[in-house]
Amino acid sequence: MSNEAKQRRVESTLALAPVVPVVIIDDASRAVGMARALVAGGVPAIEVTLRTPAALDAVRAIAAEVEGAVVGVGTVLTAKDLDAALKAGAQFAVSPGSSPRLLDAADDCELPLLPGAATASEAMALLERGYRFQKFFPAMPAGGPKLVGAWASPLPQIRFCPTGGISLANAPDFLALPNVACVGGSWLTPADKLAAGDVAGIEALAREAAQLKR
């Protein structure tokens, strides 16, 4: 698959809802209930981060059992991570930044990648590699909506998914920008609700997020 074809897949994934939940999961047995709650709430694209040993098992379970879910893998750093994500059934991958080795590996992998950028130079370098869709990370520490909004005029080809410090309160500030496709946030799947298996609470948070305007 060409990189442009993979970019179109990223575009369709980011268009599914205003928010992509960023999930840190410690117990893979909670994954299916969580994902079903997110899908029911109108937030079907789910990023499961590779920050815990349970992450890939969670992705496998979601991919196999949750109808309507578009599950991806986050915190992808290496070619090995990309390969593991693809084998687990992920439909997209997300990285906090980029490196030449990772981008080379992504060229050879069927899994669409959403790479991260925090500066105009990084965004331009990714654009040279064909990445019209990028993660702006860490969004709030790096400069927030003012910074990513300032890129809209000189870099109109790029659309961003800001992630990092995003909440229900500040998400609208990003979503109002012309170069923001959606945002990523961890507030939809808080650790206490995941640990308790509070799927009703997660679905309520998802419904609230799905109503955000963009």
What is the model's pLDDT at position 72? 98
- Residues lower than pLDDT 50 in the chain: none
What is the model's pLDDT at position 63? 98
CA distance 106 to 78: 9
Instruction: Judge whether 47 counts as a catalytic residue.
Output: yes
Class of domain 3-205: alpha beta
Pairing verdict, β 45-49 and 19-23? parallel
Catalytic residue among 65, 67, 87, 135: 135
Query: Look-up: residue for tokens 């999961």?
Result: 25
Across the chain, the runs of DSSP E, i.e. the strands, are 19-23, 45-49, 70-74, 92-94, 113-114, 116-117, 133-136, 159-162, 183-185
Domain boundaries, given as residue ranges, for the chain: 3-205
Whole-angstrom CA distances from 173 to 5, 8, 91, 147, 176 are 30, 25, 28, 12, 6
- Tens of pLDDT, residues 132-155: 999 999 999 999 999 999 999 999
* The token pair that represents 158 in the structure block: 């790029």
Pairing verdict, β 45-49 and 70-74? parallel
- 32 Rama sector, left if φ>0, alpha if ψ -120 to 50, beta otherwise: alpha
What is the model's pLDDT at position 160? 98
What is the model's pLDDT at position 134? 98
What is the model's pLDDT at position 107? 97
What is the model's pLDDT at position 18? 98
What is the model's pLDDT at position 55? 98
Catalytic residue among 47, 87, 203, 208: 47
What is the model's pLDDT at position 51? 96
